[in-house]
């Protein structure tokens, strides 16, 4: 689909329909004593209806600008790469957080971010990651007694 | 007399070392994030929310409120020195503030914005203390139908004023309401949309969702842009330009009044408040043509208004239990997490908390004045910290904040998912603020709706049989109709422009 706004509108229609259909499987009750399905069903219908409205609007825009895609300029090439790398770093950190422990996971995540997303020299990146990981460990785990995973290193 | 006594009690409460420290930390962090473009008070409050759980409700709210009004102080610094608003409430300050900076009068602009913020903030708090209790007294007569109508009115106002596109704003409100419904339902304990997950049956927490939607998505947008800012070299020593300050005393007073009363309106927010204050100043000025070229009134009035509005926007939350802005929605979430329900009974049930927060705002404004005038040099230096060093640290804070809630990594996953979701929505210009309001008000709205139908024995006319709710629902209809007409006109104009 050329027009991304239209794609987004279709997403809302599908989401709204799914919510409405799913809600219809919940107890509905009656108007005097509404059940748990009432309110979410209404939300689903509202989302789907507004989605249809947005789809109609996006078709008009598409016709006006000759079907040119509304792709934001920045969302290409290196910019997309930085976003994907950032999300990958966070996801990997989450997956390995309890195995590696807080300090090591944070050290690796920050090091990765500083080498790939906003490239810094190795020395700067290692120093900054180390200080951030150990500093936050001291602040949160030792000073504020926050529950943070210790991992196989047990600290 | 009673109020005076309660206010004195409030000051006594705030003078406890822990509360004073929390107020100080709040205003310092607020100024800091106000100075730094790319991170706003909503994201900061979301990030710091888990760290307030171990505090008393008074200390927690004092700190979070400090972040809110502190950010309004700090936001002007970047507008004046970098031409990038640190805060949405300082967008208009760029017009004359940056020009003043380029003319070597940055000190004067920073000085008047600090003084104006102090005057606006302090007088606004007086207005809050005077107006809030009687309004809460009136609201004590509200039942579920009135509450439902009030929430609907608030959501509709925020949606109609909150963005360029009314359908998008309404859609985000509905999505926020839907997200709040995920999990165990309060009436019967029925699990909704949980996929049999234990994490989801507790509902989607405000902290992971708001941190994702506001914190992570903001980082993603900044990481994508890889923006760098240049600080202009200008004179910031001559802060005390007394003659200029005296000349714009009326601008400061006008900004205070405009900011306070527009701040009360649900959805008006800092942008509309400051734009209106600027517009008014231009209208009454003897030299309107000079606005935009470095006129000090163009800095004084909006900077005063955005601080006065912080006090005004607290009135709907504290007196009626309906947040007028996303920041207030965060504050409401924090209160609920602390076991305190804002609303008409708030002032009578928690007088210490109410008057403590008011007293803390007086003290906070004094602290901010002291912090902002002599320490401007430090804030300027902080401005030079590259974002490359900031975003990994903010990410770390987000992860610690979410994990420390329940030691549950799945909540970090929820944060990442909502971060990506928020980032995509930002790209398509969907207003995230209405989502947050919907999410915070969702459970209350559903409860009041179902209770109202119970009271009315299934008759929907119950909402119109009560005078207040009837009037509010009529207003909802009018607001919706007017916004729809305006939105259609805007669309039509855009369509014609694109064709030609």
Q: What would the pLDDT profile of B268-277 be if each residue is shown by its tens digit? A: 667 778 888 8
Q: Phi/psi of residue B87, each to 5°?
A: -140, 150
For chain A, the average pLDDT equals: 87
Chain-wide mean pLDDT for chain B?
Answer: 84
- pLDDT of residue A83 exceeding 90, the answer is yes
> What pLDDT does residue B162 have?
61
Q: What value does the mean pLDDT take over residues A32-61?
A: 91
Q: Report the share of chain A in percent with pLDDT over 70.
A: 88
Nearest to B343 by CA among B361, B324, B316, B325: B316
Q: Is residue A68 very low, low, confident or very high in pLDDT (cuts 50, 70, 90)?
A: very low
Q: What is the ipTM for the molecules in this complex?
A: 0.91
Size of the A and B interface in Cβ pairs below 8 Å: 165
d(CA B23, CA B254): 28
Residues B101, B103: Cα–Cα separation, whole Å: 5
Confidence of residue A70 (pLDDT cuts 50, 70, 90): very low
Tell me, yes or no, if B171 comes closer than 8 A to chain A by beta carbon. Answer: yes
Shortest Cα distance, chain A CAs vs residue B489, angstroms = 13
Residue B423 above 90 pLDDT? Answer: yes
The A residues from 107 to 126 touching B (CB cutoff 8 Å) are 109-110, 113-114, 117-118, 120
Three-class SS state of B184: strand
Q: B177 Cβ partners below 8 Å, 6+ apart? A: A39, A43, B438, B439, B441, B442, B445
Q: B434: pLDDT confidence band, cut at 50, 70 and 90?
A: confident
User: What is the pLDDT, as a whole number, of residue B230?
Assistant: 56
Q: Which of B409, B423, B454 sits opposite A98 (nearest CB)?
A: B409
pLDDT at B98: 82
Report the pLDDT averaged over residues B218-235.
70
Q: How far apart are CA B211 and CA B43, in angstroms?
A: 6
Number of domains in chain B: 1
At B316-338, the pLDDT tens digits run 888 888 887 778 888 888 888 88
The pLDDT value given to residue A69: 47
- Given a cut of 70, is residue B85 above it in pLDDT? no
Establish if A149 touches chain B: CB-CB under 8 angstroms: yes
Domain that holds residue B44: 2-499
Judged against a pLDDT cut of 80, whether residue B84 lies above it is answered with: no
| pLDDT tens digits for range B129-181 | 888 888 888 887 888 999 899 889 888 887 886 667 889 999 999 999 999 99
Residue B29 pLDDT = 87
Does residue A73 carry a pLDDT above 60?
no
> At how many degrees (to 10) do helices B57-81 and B297-312 cross?
160
CA distance B467 to B499: 48
Confidence of residue A71 (pLDDT cuts 50, 70, 90): very low
- Give the pLDDT of residue B326: 78
């Amino acid at each position: 689909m050329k027009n991304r706004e239209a794609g987004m509108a279709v997403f809302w229609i599908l989401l709204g329909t799914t919510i409405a259909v799913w809600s219809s499987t919940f107890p509905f009750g009656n108007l005097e004593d509404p059940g748990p399905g009432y309110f979410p069903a209404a939300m689903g219908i509202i989302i789907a209806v507004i989605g249809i409205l947005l789809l109609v609007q996006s078709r008009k825009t598409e016709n006006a600008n000759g079907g040119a895609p509304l792709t934001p300029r920045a969302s290409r090439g290196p910019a997309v790469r930085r976003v994907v790398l950032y999300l990958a770093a966070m996801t990997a950190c989450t997956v390995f957080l309890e195995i590696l422990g807080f300090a090591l996971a944070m050290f690796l995540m920050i090091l990765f971010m500083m080498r790939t997303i906003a490239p810094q020299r190795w020395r700067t990146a290692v120093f900054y990651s180390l200080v951030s990981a150990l500093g936050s460990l001291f602040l949160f785990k030792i000073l504020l007694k926050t529950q943070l995973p210790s991992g196989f290193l047990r600290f | 007399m009673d109020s005076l006594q309660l206010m004195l009690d409030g000051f006594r409460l705030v003078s406890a070392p822990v509360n004073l420290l929390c107020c100080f930390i709040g205003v310092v962090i607020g100024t800091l994030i106000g100075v730094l473009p790319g991170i706003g008070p909503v994201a900061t409050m979301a990030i710091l929310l888990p760290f307030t759980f171990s505090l008393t409700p008074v200390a927690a709210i004092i700190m979070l409120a400090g972040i809110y009004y502190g950010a309004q102080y700090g936001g002007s610094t970047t507008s004046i020195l970098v031409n990038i608003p640190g805060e949405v409430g300082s967008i208009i300050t760029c017009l004359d503030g940056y020009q003043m900076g380029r003319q070597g009068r940055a000190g004067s602009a920073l000085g008047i914005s600090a003084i104006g913020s102090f005057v606006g903030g302090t007088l606004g708090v007086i207005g809050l203390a005077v107006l809030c209790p009687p309004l809460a007294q009136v609201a004590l007569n509200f039942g579920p139908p009135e509450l439902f109508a009030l929430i609907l009115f608030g959501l509709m106002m925020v949606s109609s004023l909150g963005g360029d596109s009314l359908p998008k704003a309404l859609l985000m409100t509905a999505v926020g309401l839907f997200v709040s419904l995920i999990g165990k339902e309060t009436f019967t304990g029925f699990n909704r949309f949980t996929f049999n997950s234990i994490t989801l049956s507790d509902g989607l927490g405000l902290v992971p969702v708001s941190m994702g939607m506001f914190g992570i998505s903001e980082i993603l947008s900044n990481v994508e842009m890889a923006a760098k800012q240049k600080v202009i070299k200008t004179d910031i020593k001559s802060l005390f330009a007394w003659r200029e300050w005296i000349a714009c005393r009326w601008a400061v007073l006008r900004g205070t009044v405009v900011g306070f009363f527009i701040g009360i309106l649900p959805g008006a927010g800092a942008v509309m408040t400051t734009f209106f204050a600027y517009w008014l100043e231009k209208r009454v000025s003897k030299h309107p043509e000079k606005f935009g070229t470095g006129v000090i009134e163009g800095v004084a009035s909006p900077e005063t208004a955005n601080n006065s509005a912080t006090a005004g926007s607290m009135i709907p939350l504290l007196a009626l239990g309906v947040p007028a802005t996303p920041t207030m929605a965060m504050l409401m979430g924090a209160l609920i997490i602390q076991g305190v329900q804002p609303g008409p009974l708030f002032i009578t049930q928690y007088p210490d908390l109410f008057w403590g927060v008011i007293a803390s705002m007086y003290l906070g404004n004094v602290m901010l004045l002291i912090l902002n005038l002599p320490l401007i040099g430090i804030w300027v230096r902080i401005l030079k910290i590259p974002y490359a060093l900031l975003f990994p640290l903010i990410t770390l804070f987000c992860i610690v904040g979410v994990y420390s809630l329940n030691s549950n990594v799945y909540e970090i996953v929820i944060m990442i998912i909502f971060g990506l979701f928020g980032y995509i929505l930002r790209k398509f210009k969907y207003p995230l603020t209405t989502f947050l309001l919907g999410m915070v008000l969702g459970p209350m709205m559903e409860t009041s709706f179902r209770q109202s139908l119970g009271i009315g024995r299934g008759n929907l006319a119950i909402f119109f049989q009560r005078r207040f709710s009837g009037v509010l629902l009529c207003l909802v209809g009018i607001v919706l109709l007017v916004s729809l007409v305006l939105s259609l006109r805007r669309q039509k104009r855009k369509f014609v422009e694109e064709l030609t």
